[in-house]
Amino acid sequence: MSNRAVLVVDLQNEYWPSGNLPLQGIEAAAENAARVIAHARSKGDLVVNIRHEVPGGPIFVPGSEGAEINEIVMPHGDEAVITKNFPNSFRDTGLKGLLDEKGIKDVVVVGAMSHMCIDATTRAANDHGFNTTTIHDACATRDIEFGGQTAPAAHVHTAIMGALAFLYGDVISTEDFLRS
C-alpha cells in the first residue's frame, strides 16, 4: 500500500437533484471523483469514504436515502466508511488514527460541499501535518446567501479553491491527478 489516501467526502444522495440540498455540478464532480478513486485503487492508495449524518436533522438523517453514499462512488469491499457529524472530517471521528495507522503522509480530497466540508477537512488535514491535494473539479457546492446578497456557486467554489491553494496544499484537476 502507498502512503497516500483519497478522502471521499460526503458524496451522498442528499446533494443530487432528487435530494434535499442539490448542488450545482454534483454529477460532473462525482464522475471526476469516481475517476480519481479508480486511479487511486489501481495504485494501491487507501480510499476512505466519509459520510455526514445529522441525527434528528432535516437533512442527512441516519438511515435515510439522502444520507446514503451515491452509487457512482460506492465503497468497495472492506474500504473504510467513517461517519461524521461536523464539517471537519477529523472532528470526533477515527480518521486521524486510521491515517496514522496506515502510514499515510499524503491526503487527496474530493467531494462536497466545497465551502463547508471540503474546506474544513482540507484545512484540518494540513493542520495535522498531512500533505494535501484537493481535486477542484471533483468537488461541488451551491449558491450561498449573506447580507441580502447571493454568491453564485461558481464564485464560492473559486474563492474556496483559491484560499486552499494559497496555503493549505495543492489544488489540481482530475486530469492532473490521473497523470500522477
Domains of the chain: 4-178 (3.40.50.850)
Q: How long a stretch of residues is the chain?
A: 180
- Percent of the chain beyond pLDDT 90? 98
Q: What is the pLDDT of residue 72?
A: 98
Of 74, 35, 44, nearest to 178 by C-alpha is 35
Q: What is the pLDDT of residue 108?
A: 99
CA distances from 52 to 41, 90, 91, 130, 145 (A): 23, 12, 12, 22, 22
Locate the DSSP E strands across 39-177: 46-52, 80-84, 106-112, 131-140, 144-146, 149-151, 170-172
80 contacts: CB under 8 Å, gap ≥ 6 = 46, 47, 48, 49, 98
Tell me if 122 sits within 8 A of 115, measured CB to CB. no
Omega before residue 113 within 30° of 0, cis: yes
Q: What is the pLDDT of residue 62?
A: 97
How does pLDDT run across 42-78, given as a tens digit for each residue?
A: 999 999 999 999 999 999 999 999 999 999 999 999 9
Determine the average pLDDT of the residues in 101-116. 99
Is pLDDT at 116 greater than 80 in this prediction?
yes
How does pLDDT run across 122-163, given as a tens digit for each residue?
A: 999 999 999 999 999 999 999 999 999 999 999 999 999 999
Is pLDDT at 1 greater than 90 in this prediction?
no
pLDDT band at 180 (very low <50, low <70, confident <90, very high): confident
Kind and range of the H or E element at 99? helix 95-101
Q: What is the pLDDT of residue 118?
A: 99
